[in-house]
Structure 1
């Protein structure tokens, strides 16, 4: 039985969920099992479609809808060559929320909204929020530097107020959240809810191998590192011997390894050569990456799969938020959401400040 609603915000009103909490779309992690458990707990779960073929995404959407009648979303790569085809699946199956890594094309935003779908892109800078507001998105999810995976340099505590002050649309905060104190703090900063990745990865409903979960739980606050050696972009990862070795790898050796894994990703994703090249061109145009960074980019999904799916930390990476050092248990999604909501409500009630004058 899900927790009764205690905190109502523009996020809960916009999406129809009971609680202002989002389970972010984590590649290889946010599948049908985790998303449906999150939805049943009253929060908003996102399927991570970037590491799924379009057929796998369709099956995952169907699987979630078979398990729950609660709202959920699909997170897509805005620069993917088949982004429009993936978006059409949301309309086909009545998925109420679309999420995007990076800014989607304005025409795609308009199409989704005309189909009654709420559009919530993930961004990391004020200028991106301003542009997307002009394009008509419903809200933005911002991630501060503490967050896992691809991340920026601005701490969440400074990014939230800067974006909230710049736009009129709802702002959801991510990067460094794991409990009710964080939710209460985010609301005080002006956000309408929080997004959590690492915290949902470390639940009993997550399909990440148990030995990998234990590896996460053993980490302290210095247990992550931000590196550009994975794909040329800042990426926060759990410290492992493999990642330390990646940091020491020379440019040529890294590119050779990246090319091999990139070809494996093409095979696993089911892309034809034409689709693979078209996808790369779209990514380059959207992100402005160099050719060397592009060669490395296709490498990243396979490195994450090795760690998060295969459980092989000797040949793979583990994306992780800095908050991993504060997490010490594996609750169910229902237990986690209940805990976060109740603690946030208690913190808000017990703020204790007295206004004078």
Structure 2
């Protein structure tokens, strides 16, 4: 299936596996790429050295194009951009809008730039700055999200920009891909669906919690870091909602110390990143600390398997996913379903 996304990135199918922290490592990314999708490596939870090694590992596992997801507000964003360029990575995606300068640097080196956005105005801005495409995530998506449904946000963005638009938030099968194409998208991006594959390194106990969830077990809360975050309901989420300011601050400091140890960031760098997150938002300092080290809350679940102490980011589709196919099986299924749906559509007249 050829679309503007496949032409731009060189992948076989218009499907993107999103860059999920602690989840989208070399094994999942290479499996997605080998299946014909655009696998995206999550770099925010890696040191620069780990990022370079992870890129090398993906290259050792696949010859297909893949991408790296970057945090535009990170202190070392430019260094990470240079790694992406030096290693010949095909696509750079961003969780937040990158600067005009970062986009230009990547494009000058031949890297395809695809930021993720959650609002029409953000899509218009990055498109004007030279982004090659945008991923637009509606409120159904996992992790940090907005409150506008994909079915409303997607056509707004498609009408507003001339670059290819990839739809995210609520997609898990071939019917969704066809629906997105009908709205004018060039493909779909899926996170939770790829997390729940046999190629994902997420511990089995955590996958079981996702598979057992209903759509009502997925919630949006600001209790974790002060920003809207879609995740599975857990005792931890409930506890953070109940805790007073002092206890929440102590919890945030503990997690910040863990993240500093693993990421090798200095306290100065962490505070700077926290201030960047606080800018323009009404966050307490406890929330700033939690926002800066939310990766640790995710790591507890996604790496250590602690369903009791970790955060499990989840798209709303977690409530309808019931199996753990390989990436190859998943992508083949999505494309087969899409062909069946397209062939079964009624014709005019």
Q: 1:291 Cα shift?
A: 5.0
Q: Give the structure 2 partner of residue 275 of structure 1.
A: 269
Tell me, yes or no, if the aligned pair for 1:230 and 1:299 is still in contact at 8 Å: no
Q: Is 2:112 aligned against 1:123? A: no
Gapped runs of 5+ residues in structure 2?
Answer: none
Give the Cα–Cα distance (whole angstroms) in 2 for the partners of residues 196 and 91 of structure 1.
Answer: 25
Q: Give the structure 2 partner of residue 323 of structure 1.
A: 317
- Give the TM-score, by structure 1 length: 0.95
Tell me, yes or no, if the aligned pair for 1:80 and 1:283 is still in contact at 8 Å: no
Q: Secondary structure at 2:12's aligned position in 1?
A: coil
Deviation digits for residues 132-161 of structure 1, max 9, x if unmatched?
Answer: 111000000011101111011000111110
Superposed, which structure 2 residues align to 1:177-326 within 5 Å? 177-285=171-279, 288=281, 290=283, 292=285, 293-326=287-320
Q: Give the structure 1 partner of residue 348 of structure 2.
A: 355
Give the Cα–Cα distance (whole angstroms) in 2 for the partners of residues 141 and 320 of structure 1.
Answer: 18
Match 1:8 to one of 2, 20, 27: 2
Tell me, yes or no, if the aligned pair for 2:270 and 2:292 is still in contact at 8 Å: no
Give the Cα–Cα distance (whole angstroms) in 1 for the partners of residues 185 and 262 of structure 2.
Answer: 38
Q: Is 2:43 aligned against 1:49? A: yes
Match 2:149 to one of 145, 155, 164: 155
Gapped runs of 5+ residues in structure 1?
Answer: 1-6
Give the Cα–Cα distance (whole angstroms) in 1 for the partners of residues 265 and 161 of structure 2.
Answer: 38
Give the Cα–Cα distance (whole angstroms) in 2 for the partners of residues 308 and 295 of structure 1.
Answer: 20
Q: State the number of aligned residues.
A: 348
Q: 1:315 Cα shift?
A: 1.1
Tell me, yes or no, if the aligned pair for 2:68 and 2:92 is still in contact at 8 Å: yes
Structure 1 residues 138 and 280, CA, compared in 2 at 3 Å: closer, same or farther? same
Q: Secondary structure at 1:51's aligned position in 2?
A: coil
Q: 1:215 Cα shift?
A: 1.0
Structure 1 residues 291 and 107, CA, compared in 2 at 3 Å: closer, same or farther? farther
Q: Give the structure 1 partner of residue 58 of structure 2.
A: 64
Q: Give the structure 2 partner of residue 105 of structure 1.
A: 99
Give the Cα–Cα distance (whole angstroms) in 2 for the partners of residues 258 and 278 of structure 1.
Answer: 16
Give the Cα–Cα distance (whole angstroms) in 1 for the partners of residues 89 and 72 of structure 2.
Answer: 17
Give the Cα–Cα distance (whole angstroms) in 1 for the partners of residues 22 and 252 of structure 2.
Answer: 19
- Give the TM-score, by structure 2 length: 0.97
Give the Cα–Cα distance (whole angstroms) in 2 for the partners of residues 297 and 54 of structure 1.
Answer: 21
Q: Secondary structure at 1:222's aligned position in 2?
A: helix
Q: 1:12 Cα shift?
A: 0.2
Q: 1:241 Cα shift?
A: 1.7
Tell me, yes or no, if the aligned pair for 2:155 and 2:183 is still in contact at 8 Å: yes
Give the Cα–Cα distance (whole angstroms) in 1 for the partners of residues 282 and 341 of structure 2.
Answer: 43
Give the Cα–Cα distance (whole angstroms) in 1 for the partners of residues 101 and 300 of structure 2.
Answer: 36
Q: Secondary structure at 2:75's aligned position in 1?
A: coil
Tell me, yes or no, if the aligned pair for 1:261 and 1:298 is still in contact at 8 Å: no
